Structure formats: C-alpha cells, structure tokens
C-alpha cells in the first residue's frame, strides 16, 4: 500500500556520491541488506539470523526507515511506514481500551499496552518479552514526517494511524515504561520522553489531527519536554531517567535526532561531554551505559553512529568521521555490522548470554540503517 509519495517530488540529489570513498562499500552493502531483509509486508526484522530479533520493532524499524529514506530508498521506507500504519489500524481498539482504562483511573496490565515488537506479518507475539516501551510510536511519527518531507508525500492515507498513535502517546507518553534497552520498567526515561515529544510535534505538523486531539498533543509534547528540562538535568547534563543520576548513550537522541533541545544548548553540550567521557572507549566505540552487562556490555555501532550524527549536526566533522571510521572497523568480511563488539565493560557476564541465546546479533539491521542515516548527516555537513 502506498502512503502517497509523489515520485516527481523526490530530491534528485543522491547524497551518497558525495560521501568519502572509504564509506562507499559499506554504504552499498547496507542498502543491499535493507532491500534483501525487508519482508513483503514492509517490516524489517531487527536481525534476520538472530532468533530473538526476528521481529520488527517500531523504534528500530523507524530508524532503519530513516536511513533508507535518507539515501533514496524511498519505496522501501514507504513500505515500512505502510506496515506501521496497518499495525496501528489493527491496534485501534486496543488503544481505545487503554485510554478508557487510564481515564477511569485504572492501571492496565503491561500486556494490554501496545508491544514494542511485532511478528513480521504485523500481528502480536504473545510471550513474556519486555514489551511495554512507548518511544517507538513517537519515533515512528518522527520518522514518518521526515520521510514525507523528503519525498513530498501526503499523510492523508495514514491519517487514521497517525491519530491512533497520537491518542496512545497522549494517554501513555509520560508514564513509566521500559527504556530503549528494554529495562527499568518503573522509570520515566529521558530518551522516551524525547521520542514522545518529537512524535507528537510531528503528528501536529502532519496536519491530520482533529482540534481536540491536536490540543492534547501539544499539551503533552510541551509537558514531556518540561519533564526533561525540570527533572532530568544533574550537574548541568541530562541523566537517564527523571530524578536519576546515571548517563546513558540514548540521551544523544534528545537533540541530535528529536530536536527537543538544540544541539548547541549548554545542557546538550555537557551531556555529550559526559557520554564521551564515561561511555566511549579508546578503541573508538560507544557503550550503552556504565553498568551495562548485556553480552558483557560491549560497544554498539548504532551508538557510534548516533554520536557521529550529533557531531555532524554540530559541525565537528572530524569527530563524526572518526566515529564513522570506527564503525567501518566493526564490519566483517561480508561488510555486515554487528550489534556490539568488545572491549566490554563486564566481560565476565558475556557467557551467560551466549548460553541463553548464542552469539549476539550479527548482522543487526538497525546498525546498517543508522550508518546510512549518520553518513547522510555527515555529507550534509560538508
């Protein structure tokens, strides 16, 4: 199903020929991987070979779609957004039930909320995964608007899905849930609040919401931003969750991706400095957070790309290049990017995950999508 992309409005300037030659092999491989792993339904598995990730996440998939859209894979991005819209149409009744329960002062079970991941056909996987994550629905709206701006498409064919996602975010967006890493269910996470704020702003800019819902979306977006500014700044920098004290690399999304704060805001500058000091390694990669033990707490190409994205937008192209160069070093002989690599913060904790699920995801499609998106930002900064 098309979401109204007008092929005549495509920007004819492909950013990739302007990238440095050293990036082109991985760029081409990443495009090939995005094409080959996208299913007929439009979904992207987080990883085609790692069993726990053979599902599609709204968050990971939206970032993959952003990378696809940024490098001109518009049909692929279009199909993913159409898949998301179809999922949300199917979930409209569930959203109505969640909204009604919350309005009545009742707390739904986690299984009643929308899940973070779906089967590739768009149906729910009924299991005990750590599913209650709100940010993906905001990130979808953010990525959808960017795609339509890039291609000149119309949001009208997906207005119902945009409305459903907005109703869900207005009802749940400032509640506690699991974070980007599917942890800490009892906290209100800054990256999540930023994704909610950005998603609701995007929904408003798509101009398909009715008046009352638009008013509620604006109020919720402003409140989510206020939560961050008023309750998530410690020692001048952002922290992982409200009233917390730990730094997390997902905080880089607040400005670089979601524009909830400006890239040159002193709080953002201090946050990036804290991430660089606490979470980057001499090898050049970026860890998730200081106490990470998942597969030993390695370095994630996704996060190096996110940090490169920030520096490209901020004008530090040499730092962006250094990070993207590190990402190149993580690719295997087939130019496939992993989820994470060493050195690890907790190497003694790796074996338990190897025994549970086998080696960590390789390839991770999100890594390739983020590489394409970050490289496009780097090219734009030239």
Q: Tokens in use for 142?
A: 């953010």
| HSE of 364, CA atoms in CB hemisphere, 13 A | 23
Chain-centroid distance, C-alpha 107: 27
Q: Closest by alpha carbon to 136, among 35, 48, 253, 51?
A: 253
Chain-centroid distance, C-alpha 117: 13
Is the bond leading into 346 cis (omega within 30 degrees of zero)?
no
340: three-class secondary structure by DSSP: coil
Chain-centroid distance, C-alpha 256: 12
Active site residues: 179, 182, 339
Q: Closest by alpha carbon to 159, among 214, 236, 109?
A: 214
CB 15 within 8 A of CB 4: no
State the burial class of residue 217 (Cβ atoms within 10 Å of its Cβ: 0-12, 13-18, 19+): buried
One-character DSSP codes across 315-334: T-HHHHHHHHHHHHHH--TT
Burial per residue of 140-153, b for 16 or more beta-carbon CB atoms within 10 angstroms, e otherwise:
bbbbbbbbbebbeb
Q: Closest by alpha carbon to 9, among 147, 118, 152, 122?
A: 152
């Amino acid at each position: 199903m098309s979401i109204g992309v007008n092929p005549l409005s495509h920007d004819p300037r492909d950013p990739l020929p302007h990238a440095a030659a050293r990036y082109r092999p991985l760029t081409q491989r990443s495009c090939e991987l995005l094409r080959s792993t996208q299913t007929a339904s439009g979904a992207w598995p987080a990883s085609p070979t790692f069993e726990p990730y053979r599902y599609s996440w709204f968050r990971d998939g939206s970032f993959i779609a952003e990378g696809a859209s940024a490098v001109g894979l518009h049909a692929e991005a279009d199909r993913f957004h159409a898949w998301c819209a179809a999922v949300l149409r199917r979930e409209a009744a569930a959203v109505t039930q969640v909204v009604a329960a919350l309005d009545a002062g009742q707390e739904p079970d986690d299984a009643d909320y929308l899940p973070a991941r779906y089967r590739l056909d768009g149906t729910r996987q009924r299991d005990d995964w750590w599913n209650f994550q709100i940010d993906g629905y905001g990130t979808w709206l953010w990525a959808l608007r960017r795609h339509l701006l890039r291609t000149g498409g119309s949001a009208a064919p997906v207005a119902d899905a945009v409305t459903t996602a907005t109703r869900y975010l207005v009802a749940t967006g400032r509640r506690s849930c699991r974070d980007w890493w599917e942890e800490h269910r009892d906290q209100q996470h800054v990256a999540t609040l930023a994704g909610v704020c950005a998603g609701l702003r995007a929904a408003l800019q798509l101009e398909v919401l009715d008046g009352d819902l638009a008013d509620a979306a604006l109020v919720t977006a402003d409140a989510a931003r206020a939560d961050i500014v008023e309750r998530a700044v410690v020692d001048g920098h952002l922290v992982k969750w409200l009233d917390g004290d730990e730094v997390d690399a997902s905080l880089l999304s607040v400005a670089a991706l979601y524009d909830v704060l400006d890239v040159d805001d002193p709080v953002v500058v201090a946050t990036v400095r804290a991430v660089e000091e606490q979470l980057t390694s001499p090898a050049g990669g970026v860890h998730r957070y200081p106490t990470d033990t998942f597969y030993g707490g390695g370095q994630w190409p996704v996060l190096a790309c996110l940090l490169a994205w920030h520096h490209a937008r901020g004008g530090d192209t040499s730092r962006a290049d250094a990070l993207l160069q590190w990402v190149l070093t993580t690719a295997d002989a087939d130019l496939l990017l992993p989820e994470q690599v060493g050195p690890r913060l907790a190497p003694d904790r790796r074996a338990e995950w190897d025994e549970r699920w086998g080696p960590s995801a390789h390839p991770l499609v999100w890594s390739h999508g983020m590489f394409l998106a970050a490289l496009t930002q780097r090219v734009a900064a030239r």
